[in-house]
Structure 1
Amino acid sequence: MTLAYWCVLAAALMPFLFTGIAKFTGGRYNNYSPREFLEKQDGFRKRAHWAQLNSFEAFPFFAAAVIIAHQTGGDQGYIDMLAAAFIGIRVVYGVMYLANLAALRTLVWAAGLACIIAIFVSGA
């Protein structure tokens, strides 16, 4: 398997990192109504929940881009580099979200989107 495919797995699991921060870093987690529990969080826990949601939103486009790039014969080294960069960028994005650095978070988000687009068109 390629590094890019491993990055797809990492991207698929990343939301659960933020879920864990939101659920288990304070307060008593309520597994009977997890969505209600998460919506009642505040501060960095609420932002961790939002980072989780955004990670789930970013995943399909990233996974599709990697698969399409492989199918269309994009340069594997380039795809792997961009996929690894995307994962690093998404980690930084989550840190920016937790730290409530909105302007920087937006710039980091844009860098992640640029990686996805570059992966997607790499086989063109």
Structure 2
Amino acid sequence: MSALLTTLLIAMFLPYLAKLPLMKAMHERGGYDNRHPRQQQAALEGFGARANAAHYNSFEALMVYASAVFITVSLGAVDAVAIALGWTFVVARIGYMVCYWLDKATIRSLIWLVSMIASFGMAIRAILIS
């Protein structure tokens, strides 16, 4: 079970990892506006806008993945397959962020699909086998 929970812990850090390039983009646009960061982020273009989207999407994906992990743990369905799906999610989400930053839209969307299949697959499988 600790291996699956480790993937969740890593997934919890990913939105903050995604924030680093966003902060860099904000800094390049006159410094980080700590009074109105969301307004500043909304005004970003190009790389900055993509970094912002990757940051917010990381939080969105975390909710789906955390729910899948909670379902799996609560039903006692943690096994090698669940752990493999967890690592698939983590690797896919890292790839997703990189593709967003590099403006690789098609592969990014495919990687997003992999991460969602891993999450929903984990939850559905846990329900079916319990």
Q: Establish whether TM, by shorter chain, passes 0.5.
A: yes
Take 2:103 and 2:3, find their aligned partners in 1: how far apart are those partners? 31
State the match for 2:54 in structure 1: 51
Take 2:101 and 2:15, find their aligned partners in 1: how far apart are those partners? 13
Tell me the amino acid that sits aligned with residue 7 of structure 1.
Answer: T
SS at match of 2:84: helix
State the match for 2:82 in structure 1: 79
State the match for 1:111 in structure 2: 114
In structure 1, stretches of 5+ residues that fail to align are none
TM-fit CA distance, 1:24: 2.3
Q: Deviations over 1:82-108 (max 9, x none)?
A: 111100000000111111111111111
SS at match of 2:33: coil
TM-score, normalised via structure 1 length: 0.92
Q: CA RMSD in A?
A: 1.4
Tell me the amino acid that sits aligned with residue 18 of structure 2.
Answer: F
Is residue 2–residue 80 contact of structure 1 (8 Å, CA) maintained in 2? Answer: no
State the match for 1:22 in structure 2: 22
State the match for 2:40 in structure 1: 37
Take 2:14 and 2:78, find their aligned partners in 1: how far apart are those partners? 26
Asked if 1:95 corresponds to 2:95, the answer is: no
TM-score, normalised via structure 2 length: 0.88
Percent identity (aligned): 27
In structure 2, stretches of 5+ residues that fail to align are none
Query: Which ranges of 4 or more aligned residues in structure 1 deviate by more than 4 Å?
Result: none
Take 1:63 and 1:45, find their aligned partners in 2: how far apart are those partners? 27
Is residue 70–residue 76 contact of structure 1 (8 Å, CA) maintained in 2? Answer: no
Asked if 1:121 corresponds to 2:124, the answer is: yes
Say how many residue pairs are matched. Answer: 124
Tell me the amino acid that sits aligned with residue 37 of structure 2.
Answer: P
Take 1:121 and 1:73, find their aligned partners in 2: how far apart are those partners? 13
Is residue 82–residue 119 contact of structure 1 (8 Å, CA) maintained in 2? Answer: yes
